[in-house]
A and B are shown apart, each in its own frame.
Chain A
Amino acid sequence: METPIIQLVDVHKRFGDTVVLDGVTFDIDSGSITTIIGKSGTGKSVLLKHIIGLMTPDSGDILFKGRSILSMSKVDRSRLRSQIGYLFQSVALFDSMTVFDNVALPLREKTARNEKEIKHLVEEILTKLEIADTAKKYPAEISGGMRKRVGLARALITKPKVVLFDEPTSGLDPIRRNAVHSMIAHMQGKFAFSAVIVSHEIPEVFYLSHKIVMLHGGMVYANGTPDEIMTTDDPVVRGFIRGTDAETDDITGMLKRHSIIDRLLDTQIFSTDTDDTCNFVVFKIENLDAINEQLGFIEGQKCCQQVARKIDSKLSSIGDSSKYSDDIIVVMVPDEALERAHSLINVMSREMCEGDNPENGETLRCTLSVRICTSVGHDSIDEVVKGAAGETQMITRVHI
């Protein structure tokens, strides 16, 4: 088994009489996204500062690839820091420098690259993050969302092995919030870094995470996959998740994922027959990654929003629609409405294609696949949506 890239072992930290971390132990796996959740003041940001070495624990240890960070020499610790990127909650850009200089700073200070190479690398990452036109501006002259992206560019410019994100979406509007989440997932997929995110954005952050760690009372209270955390019966975890989580998604206005999971569970609990079925119309934007890459993450989110509105306007009369993940929308349809669902999907497909202009070959079009999945008995919704359980029938694939 591969050694986790970072391990926290029984980490304690107190400020005066206040105990912030009281024996925190967990692992961060290489190449994965780990999200730390918990109420305000539970030490999430403090934990990140321990990982990067801005704070040292009162007791306990922090290991990087199995080696204790605390007992490392100054040179080794310096080498370690060059492998970790950090996006501060406040972004912490240098006010006296332009966006370009902010992003170029780690390259200028810590590498032997010449100015031409630095210019190329900075322009490349600014373009990827859709902020190339802000290069000559100062941080005070750009919006909060752009500042976050500049911070992200600065954190990623040295191609670190680990990136720590301290509330990367705080203060952003829903579209930009989701765009930043998509961006993190996309960049993580592309550069294969290990990411640690501190976030309150539940459940959005669950869509991109491989592992969730919940801090409570200075300790790791829950630790597992997003699905395990989402479906846990623990009242503290459920209370926290439901407490921070609005019933509907900000962008689409649809129910959030946990609501549809709850409804399926309710159906299964009250079902007396183990062969009872439940139908889901599963809409998937097949090429969201390509849209994000070519048109930008904000355009990607706007595309999701438009698709969701269209689906909701057509199918809301026959079932509850829910944003299941960044690119999947699920509509729960009762057996008796299945026929009508088929015809509404056909109408919707035709309407969506009406604006299509085949001559305009250069425009990237959104590819939407529609499947009807049927769960049987106690199939989990994840298995059903992935097509791993129940029955799946491909209805159509349209280019919008």
Chain B
Amino acid sequence: MVRTIGRSTIDSVRYLGRLSIFTTTATMLIFTRPLKFRRILEHLYFIGFLSVFVVSLTAFFTGMVLGLQGYNSLSKIGSEGLLGSTVALSLIRELGPVLAALMITGRAGSAIAANIGAMRVSEQIDALDTMDINPIKFLVSPRIVAALISVPLLTAIFDLVGIFGGYVSGVVMLGVSPGSFINSMLTYTDLNDVISGLVKPVFFGFAMATICCYRGFYCDTLRPGTRGAEAVSLATTSAVVTVSVVILVSDYVLTALLM
């Protein structure tokens, strides 16, 4: 029992140590020459642009559900007029950053882990090493930059589309006054809410990119004796689960700090 606890503690510390070194190296390499903007653009397209549809779809229905639930609750105390602020604050401060980050992790993060993992098992990362091309700078750093840019932008899209979904549900379908919806939203939402809602996705994007890249990069060490496709699938699952947990736990911490 003690041995098991001790071993898992050592493994966790070792994992955190390696992840820290990996993250620090990848971050530092962002600022070293040569700067390859084209590669960053490619990843921006993949992580950002290709996620717009799924993020918007999720946001729209989340907003609609918020509008529906909010209307039901608020109408009991005769405060339907506050629906706009309820929807907007829920989305901007909490649901937008968290749900957008989870959706991006599911779509792009899993692909990042699988892609880099496949490169590891097919010796493509070794090939980069033999050509004296730093694989972390080549594969990880551009993805981190792309995630740092695209996750906040996608979160902003999530917020806007979600608010629109709440408007459709509350105003168009349930008959709340459009003026009171918009007025309450503008009255009760201040700049701090927006800043808080955009700081979180920066952190989530960074965590998503580094953890997914790390899992893929070291997929062959995740479980002893695991190789090939099995290692890639394990790395992908592990990356998505880890990032999701990190997002939810860190959301609480960040909320407490930013309040």
- The interface size of chain A toward B, counting residues with CB under 8 Å, comes to 22
Q: Is the CB of A81 within 8 A of B130?
A: yes
**Closest chain B residue, CB of each to CB of A81:** B132
Kindly provide the distance from the CB of A260 to the nearest chain B CB, expressed in whole angstroms.
39
A94 to B133 CA separation, bound complex (whole angstroms): 13
User: Which chain A residues lie closer than 8 Å to B123 at the CB level?
Assistant: 88, 90, 92
Q: Does A52 contact B (CB under 8 A)?
A: yes
Q: Does A82 contact B (CB under 8 A)?
A: yes
Q: Is the CB of A92 within 8 A of B122?
A: yes
User: Which chain B residues lie closer than 8 Å to A88 at the CB level?
Assistant: 123, 126-127
Q: Is the CB of A81 within 8 A of B131?
A: yes
Q: Does B61 contact A (CB under 8 A)?
A: no
Q: Given the interface contacts A92-B122, A109-B138, does A86 sit within 8 Å of B132 by beta carbon? A: no
User: Which chain A residues lie closer than 8 Å to B127 at the CB level?
Assistant: 86, 88, 92-94
Q: Is the CB of B122 within 8 A of A84?
A: no
Q: Does B124 contact A (CB under 8 A)?
A: yes
A110 to B129 CA separation, bound complex (whole angstroms): 12
User: Which chain B residues lie closer than 8 Å to A92 at the CB level?
Assistant: 122-124, 126-127
User: Which chain A residues lie closer than 8 Å to B130 at the CB level?
Assistant: 52, 54, 81, 84-86
A321 to B225 CA separation, bound complex (whole angstroms): 49
Q: Is the CB of A90 within 8 A of B122?
A: yes
Kindly provide the distance from the CB of A81 to the nearest chain B CB, expressed in whole angstroms.
4
Q: Is the CB of A109 within 8 A of B126?
A: no
Scan residues 58-82 of chain A and give those whose CB is less than 8 A from a CB of chain B. Answer: 78, 81-82
**Closest chain A residue, CB of each to CB of B133:** A109
Size category of the B interface is 10 to 19
A52 to B128 CA separation, bound complex (whole angstroms): 12
Q: Does A105 contact B (CB under 8 A)?
A: yes
Q: Does A106 contact B (CB under 8 A)?
A: yes
Q: B98-125 toward A: CB 8 Å interface, digit per residue (1/0)?
A: 0000000000000000000011001110
Q: Is the CB of A105 within 8 A of B133?
A: yes
A309 to B60 CA separation, bound complex (whole angstroms): 73
User: Which chain B residues lie closer than 8 Å to A82 at the CB level?
Assistant: 132
Q: A277-314 toward B: CB 8 Å interface, digit per residue (1/0)?
A: 00000000000000000000000000000000000000
A to B CB contacts below 8 Å, 15 in the list = A52-B129, A81-B129, A85-B130, A88-B126, A92-B123, A92-B124, A92-B126, A92-B127, A94-B119, A94-B127, A95-B122, A109-B131, A109-B133, A110-B131, A154-B131
Given contacts A90-B122, A109-B34, A158-B131, 12 further A-B pairs with CB under 8 A are A53-B129, A54-B126, A54-B130, A81-B131, A82-B132, A84-B130, A86-B127, A88-B126, A88-B127, A92-B127, A93-B127, A109-B138
Residue ranges of A at the interface with B (Cβ–Cβ < 8 Å): 49, 52-54, 78, 81-82, 84-86, 88, 90, 92-95, 105-106, 109-110, 154, 158
List 9 A-B pairs, minimum CB-CB distance, nearest first.
A92-B127, A81-B132, A86-B130, A92-B123, A106-B131, A109-B133, A92-B124, A82-B132, A88-B123
